Structure 1
Amino acid sequence: MKLNNNTILITGGTSGFGLEFASKLLALGNTIIITGRNQAKLDEINKKLPGVHTFKSDVSDAGAIEQLYKQVSAQFPSLNVLINNAGEMRAISLNDASTGLRDLTREVEINLMGPMRMVQQFLPLLKQQNEAAIMNVTSGIALMPFPVSPIYGATKSGLRSYTKSLRVQLKNSRVKVFELIAPGSSTPLNDQFMDMDGINANLMMDPGKLIDMAIAGLGKDKLEIYPGLARVMKIMSRLAPGFLLKQASKVGAKFMETAG
């Protein structure tokens, strides 16, 4: 796909991958729209990247997505790229009986139902364009269990499956479906895990380099993009899944043993 003169909507665009996508795609000559839940952070982005258009919206709220569509489709009828990037990742002990049922599935609402609803809401508009694309940001954790963050891992595996099915269903349309399988990176989402036992900070990929690879993949029509260690994880998930799980189980082992 072409990398300039697009109108691109990025969810979760105030930090991490979303912010990197916004700044780099803006520099390539695209119209950039980002969403976020925190108005103060959106205001900061307006100062840092004055060319970016911002909307306060929560992907876990179906009503908010409907309202976002009304606003965006009216102001940007040429929208042709949707990047589902918003996400949340938490360390959760399933032994902890105090975890409320509604709170337990918060990541499902954000990481899985959010992208599904965004696609369903914006797909008719995307189909109207001469060239369009959807990118769903999953994770290397979609290729393997990650016991210390069980709900996050389940959502990313689910999103990966959904993305594959979406690609099949849209094969006769002008909408290309991409997946960014992101390895661990130095972003706010992962920073909360840095002090946890079993984490190797040296394996964290620079988010700028990761997004450079993602954008290059878009330009080459690579429908599945595996930056850095994600490609190794893909191979290992096939050849030695037990070894991967054993290594992943070392992260937060003390937390999982003591919590609850």
Structure 2
Amino acid sequence: MNGVTGPDSGDMNISGNTIFIPGATSGIGLALAQQLAARGNTVIVGGRRQELLTTIAAENPALDTVRIDTTDADSIRSAAATVLAKHPDLDVLVTMAGIMRVEDWTAPAGFLDTAEATVTTNLLGPIRLIAAFIEHLQTRPDATIMTVSSGLAFTPLRVTPTYNATKAAIHMLSESLRLQLADTTVQVLELEPPSVRTALMPGQETSDFAMPLDDFVTEVMQLIETQPEATEIQVENVKFLRYAEARGEYDQVVSTLNRRDPHGH
């Protein structure tokens, strides 16, 4: 978002952007879209289900919507063309879409389809989205790509191996793109959620371990406003996972995570 170029850039200008958030028909994506729109940004919400988009548009007149299936390369290209034709001033892309599913790799017939779907959605999806918008974003005077990884990119949850792997890949992709784009007008931010009370996994919306959605989004907005030099957006709750290895507590944190909560991401 405008103004985040380094530690000397001053507070982020968190309004006046045009932001596309594919995968924002529920959960973190929708809550973030609503907060960003309330701050004076033009926000376009993308999703696969037209009925959800119609409802969101009716309930949130400030939000624009576009249908997109981030598992489908043609749909991504088509949606990108639609968004850019209507919003040529687009300067922020948030690659929000993702799935999180349990896998049992001790029963090979049961996990492969899930693993492949997870890679397609969580890794190929963001790669294709960035590819569809990167040329345009480099023409803007100040642009941002926000990727979405997870605390599980750094500390694994036993029951979701491919999810963990895709989020670790998103982290390293973000790090690498930041290096490649260092001399352009495009910055790369990485949002790293902990477990948040959404429908990402069964039971997660009511989990005592998961962070309330409103609290998470409020803290994210505060971090974006007050830490313009940050390259990773980390609420306090995710640091237990994010820095386990750096603290020398990796084994203990892995044990605690996998004993404490079957949904924690």
Same fold (TM over 0.5): yes
1:257 paired residue number: none
- Contact map agreement 1:148 1:251 (CA 8 A) in 2: no
Instruction: Name the residue aligned to 1:173.
Output: 184
CA distance in structure 2 between the aligned counterparts of 1:206 and 1:228, rounded to whole angstroms: 13
Contact 1:65 1:121 in 2 (8 A): yes
1:229 maps to 237
Distance 1:103 1:180 in 2: 24
Deviations for 1:180-199, whole angstroms, at most 9, x for unmatched residues?
11110101114x1449xxxx
* Residue identity in the other structure for 2:56: I
Q: Which amino acid aligns with 2:253?
A: L
Are 2:216 and 1:217 equivalent residues in the alignment? no
Match of 2:258 in 1: 249
Identity %: 31
**Superposed displacement of residue 251, structure 1:** 5.9
- Could you list the per-position Cα deviations for residues 21-77 of structure 1 after superposition, in whole angstroms to 9, with x for gaps in the alignment? 111000011111011111111111011101211111111111111111111111111
Q: Which runs of 5+ in 1 are unaligned?
A: 254-260
Q: How many residues are aligned here?
A: 248
1:168 CA displacement = 0.7
Letter in structure 1 aligned against 2:129:
M
> Which runs of structure 1 show a deviation greater than 4 angstroms over 4 or more consecutive aligned residues?
none
Q: Does 1:34 align with 2:45?
A: yes
Q: How big is each residue's C-alpha offset from its partner over 1:66-116, in whole Å with a ceiling of 9 and x where there is no partner? A: 111111111111000001111100111112233264443101111111111
CA distance in 2, matches of 1:123, 1:194: 34
CA separation in 1, counterparts of 2:174 and 2:182? 12
Q: Distance in 2 between matches of 1:226 and 1:179?
A: 9
Q: Secondary structure at the match of 1:171?
A: coil
Post-superposition offset of 1:217: 2.5
* In structure 2, C-alpha distance between the alignment counterparts of 1:69 and 1:88, rounded to whole Å: 21
After superposition, residues 115-130 of structure 1 pair within 5 angstroms as 115-130=126-141
* TM-score after normalising by structure 2: 0.88
Cα distance in structure 2, aligned partners of 1:228 and 1:212: 12
- Residue type of the partner of 1:153? N
| RMSD of equivalent CA atoms | 1.8
TM-score, normalising length: structure 1 = 0.90
5+ residue gaps in structure 2? Answer: 4-12
Q: Do the aligned residues in 2 keep the contact of 1:205 with 1:228 (CA within 8 Å)?
A: no
Change (3 A) 1:194 1:132: closer
Query: Is 2:212 the counterpart of 1:203?
Result: no
Following superposition of structure 1 onto structure 2, how do residues 15-94 of structure 1 map, counting pairs within 5 Å?
Answer: 15-94=26-105
Residue pair 2:32, 2:217 contacting (<8 A) in 1 also: yes
CA distance in 1, matches of 2:67, 2:78: 10
Provide closer, same or farther for how the CA distance between residues 193 and 150 of structure 1 changes in structure 2, counting only shifts above 3 A: farther
